Amino acid sequence: MTSSKAVAAKGGKERALQLPPIVCVGFPRWEGTDYLSSTVQLMGELARHHRVLYVDYPFTYKDLWGKDAGVPRSAIEGEAPALQERTLAHGGKVQLLRLPPFVPANFLRTNLAYDAVLAWNAQRAARGIRRALKQLTWETPIVINAFNPALGNALAGKLNEQLLAYYCYDEISAAPWIARHGARHEQRFLANVDVTIVSSQGLYDQKKGSTAAIALVKNGVNLEVFKPTGQRPADLPSGQVIGYVGSVDDRLDYKLLAAIALNDPKVSLVFVGRIMDELAVRQLGRLPNVYLLGPKPVEQLGDYIAAFSVGLIPFVKNDLTAGIYPLKINEYLALGLPVVSTRFADLSDFSGYIEEATDTAAFLKATERALSGQAPADPIARRNFAAGNSWQGRAEKLASTLSDYLTPKSN
């Protein structure tokens, strides 16, 4: 099966690329999360025009035995169909596959033990995916591995794929879930895939020498989600709010954040997102104008951001954050919010729309300017800029990239 490039139709209009079936072996969960995943957003947008099978996060026996209410136990344990169809808001459909439970392996210290368990898990995964493809009558798919290179190595060549792509949206050595084995597996996977797709210029620069082909598809924004209802969330403090939406983890500069909170006690510093680092609680939770609100449902995030006076990107600068293209920048801008960021990575795309600072003093001054209405651009310009970075546009670029690297299979 081969792809056809977009061709001009009658009247000068173009019809969408017609790609082979797409199998995305995802690491992010498709459902049940309190954050927006770039993988899920891209696959959902691809489903507007293409056949997409999303292989969900590989839940383990540990997940089944835990108390996480978001684990789809019935589908994993075989009480409900493993393959289920989801109809999306735009009318497209995604085929969602839940694999049999994996044996946990990331805690294993030796390469030999880890790879043995990986091979067993991959064998179960391959059987489940092939069964789903047969049920769907889909052949010779495009396979996209989303940030799980160990499983990617173990599945390579087992799904009759005509194109194998690696979607890398973070630095693997910074991922605690695969800290012991991720880097070595990624290095091997980069060398074996047909194309690597990265989400930031920093990742592009880091990975380009290790893979045969590389393409940059940056993160976007879901404009439908980030439409506020006009209701100010009840747990937000009154007055001006400097806010951050996202995981509260070791990427954040806590000394800088403490300085922001102490700079003006009348302004509240609010965090909306999962608390992943107890250092935040110890260093920031004791300050009277700091509010750690925890995660909120995705559909409520627009109301929180709309109530902020300033949106923060307070990341430390190091080799790991250099590869980040923060989802939250476009989310802030989509609601017209002024944005102040540390200069942790190449953010030149946002020049003229956000303010960057290289030290604490400059960050405090930039925040004060934003609070007083002196931030770059105006709310309308910020919204218009973010609208040009929609996930739909990013997915169109991804589809074009995949088409470029497809090669006809010999008869």
pLDDT along the chain (411 residues), means of 10: 37 60 96 87 97 97 90 92 96 97 94 97 98 98 97 98 97 84 96 98 96 97 87 96 94 95 97 88 90 93 96 94 93 97 95 97 98 95 96 97 78 35
Are 301 and 376 part of one and the same domain? yes
Residue located via tokens 């310009």: 381
Q: Is residue 7 in some structural domain?
A: no
Q: Is residue 3 in some structural domain?
A: no
Are 199 and 127 part of one and the same domain? yes
Are 252 and 198 part of one and the same domain? no
Closest by CA position to 39, among listed 189, 132, 187, 147: 147
Q: Is residue 229 in some structural domain?
A: no
Q: Is residue 227 in some structural domain?
A: no
pLDDT of 406: 92
pLDDT of 1: 36
- DSSP for residue 64: H
pLDDT of 206: 95
> Using an 8 Å Cβ cutoff, are 327 and 297 in contact?
no
Are 58 and 47 part of one and the same domain? yes
In degrees to the nearest 10, what's the CA dihedral of 54, 60, 66, 69? Answer: 10
Q: Is residue 410 in some structural domain?
A: no
d(CA 411, CA 171): 39
Q: Is residue 225 in some structural domain?
A: no
Are 151 and 30 part of one and the same domain? yes
> Using an 8 Å Cβ cutoff, are 261 and 242 in contact?
no
pLDDT of 319: 84
Are 261 and 322 part of one and the same domain? yes
pLDDT of 331: 95
d(CA 213, CA 196): 6
Are 168 and 278 part of one and the same domain? no
Closest by CA position to 125, among listed 89, 160, 101, 91: 101
Are 152 and 273 part of one and the same domain? no
Q: Is residue 34 in some structural domain?
A: yes
What CATH code is carried by the domain that includes residue 373? Answer: 3.40.50.2000
Are 216 and 253 part of one and the same domain? no
pLDDT of 67: 86
Are 251 and 330 part of one and the same domain? yes
Are 112 and 29 part of one and the same domain? yes
Domain of residue 249 covers: 241-387
Are 161 and 249 part of one and the same domain? no
Instruction: Quote the number of domains for the chain.
Output: 2
pLDDT of 4: 39
pLDDT of 229: 87
d(CA 342, CA 312): 9
